[in-house]
Amino acid sequence: MVGTRSVGKPRAGTVPTGGPTVALAVTLLVLAGCGNQPVDAATPTVVASGAAFDADRAALVLTAFDQADSAASVSGDVQTLRTQEVSPSLEVSIAAIRRAEYNQRPQPAFQHVNPAFAVPPGEPGCFLATATLRLAGAELAPTDVSHFVRDTDGRWKLSHNVQVTQSALVTARGIAGRPATAGGTAVDETSRRALAAELFARTTGTSTGNRALVASSPLLDGQFAGGWEVYQQQLAGAGARVARTLDRAEWSDCAVTTPEGTLTFLTVYATDTLSPKPSGPATVTMVPQSPDMISTGRRAPVTGKRIRVTRVETFLLLVPAQATGTSVLGLNDTALTVTTG
């Protein structure tokens, strides 16, 4: 799970063939995990027969995960990561390893401390955790929220992980001891559709016309949408353009209701299509130095009449009872693939 995860960055290094290189600023968000000695954290925890799955058992899962996932992240062991994580977290972690390899800087070891949990009753298939994230060699210790799911073999794996903003720390810690519920039903379908559409639009600095649905966010409306605007301007200056389309939206299996609202994860899958402007050259090129090329492991230039970059964006949301004024508590974004066509 650990690594450098990009948030709202322009995609540097995309240029029309024969045109000047587009140098864009990159904003990176560091997320990390925890660990000491590598173990198989995905192995089901041995507990007394008949014991209910509670916060104590969730803590054992988190500790084992930290040990295995931290070691795998530091060493760049993708195969071990696959035993600890599933989509969308897995793709974000693999991209972080690729960035670390490109920059020739290993990711720091990590450990979650002072965790709190929201666990569904009975034998759950998911649970939520929030904790302070201790990173080796770092003075600051951010807070993150994680979502774990149990696979068909009974193994727990990380599916979502987002660092929260400073203003959201109290809200994140507010899940402690509360029962989690099914994420797909915690927010009604009409609100889910409207929120996904509005959040997607806001990543590009626009709106569906229902801007009040999502509260103003420096992270979403400033850093993220601002990066998109700079990216468009830089491409336009080089004779190229980019359009983003929404492919699908998915909600986490678990959510938790607090007095402030429902805390849940939303994952948006999108595609950026780069193409020359009508008055520009015939093709566009992405160079290896592009953050999206680095994240996807592409080490040679990619040229085509169109270049498509698929990406995943994960939002941690606090959704009020009537949905209006939903808060973005944290988010991350990474490219998944770069193709021509």
Average pLDDT on 233-239 reads 83
Contact 83, 40 (CB under 8 A): yes
181 has a pLDDT exceeding 80: yes
C-alpha 199/C-alpha 104 separation (Å) is: 34
C-alpha 194/C-alpha 132 separation (Å) is: 32
Contact 313, 338 (CB under 8 A): no
Contacts of 101 (CB under 8 A, 6+ apart): 76
266 has a pLDDT exceeding 80: yes
To the nearest whole number, what is the mean pLDDT of the chain? Answer: 86
| pLDDT value of position 236 | 86
152 has a pLDDT exceeding 60: yes
pLDDT in tens, 183-204: 778 999 999 999 999 999 999 9
C-alpha 309/C-alpha 336 separation (Å) is: 7
- Of 40-49, 99-108, 263-272, the range with the lowest mean pLDDT is 40-49
Which helix (H) or strand (E) is 336 found in, with range?
strand 327-340
Q: Which amino acid is at 125?
A: G
pLDDT in tens, 31-78: 233 333 333 445 444 444 456 899 999 999 999 999 999 999 999 999
CA distances to 97, 181, 269, 297, 298 from 91, rounded to whole Å, are 10, 25, 12, 12, 15
Contact 133, 112 (CB under 8 A): yes
Average pLDDT on 296-304 reads 95
296 has a pLDDT exceeding 50: yes
**Angle ∠(255,174,127) on CA atoms, nearest 5:** 35
Q: How would DSSP label each residue in 7-41?
A: -S----SEEETTS--------EEEE----SS---T
Query: DSSP code of 178?
Result: P
pLDDT in tens, 319-336: 999 999 999 999 999 999
| pLDDT value of position 35 | 33
Query: DSSP code of 119?
Result: -
| pLDDT value of position 239 | 86
Q: How many Cβ atoms sit within 10 Å of the Cβ of residue 82?
A: 15
pTM (predicted TM-score):
0.86
Query: DSSP code of 154?
Result: S
Structural domain boundaries of the chain? 3-340
pLDDT in tens, 202-212: 999 999 999 99
| pLDDT value of position 3 | 52
Q: How would DSSP label each residue in 296-325?
A: HT--S-EEES-EEEEEEEEEEEEE-TT-TT
Average pLDDT on 15-26 reads 33
| pLDDT value of position 326 | 97
| pLDDT value of position 92 | 96
- Of 131-135, 198-202, 227-231, 267-271, the range with the lowest mean pLDDT is 227-231
Q: The sheet that has 126-135: what strands, in order across it? A: 110-118, 126-135, 143-150, 156-163
Query: DSSP code of 123?
Result: S
Contact 121, 97 (CB under 8 A): no
Instruction: Please report how the helices 89-103 and 55-75 are oriented relative to each other, as an axis angle in degrees rounded to 10.
Output: 30
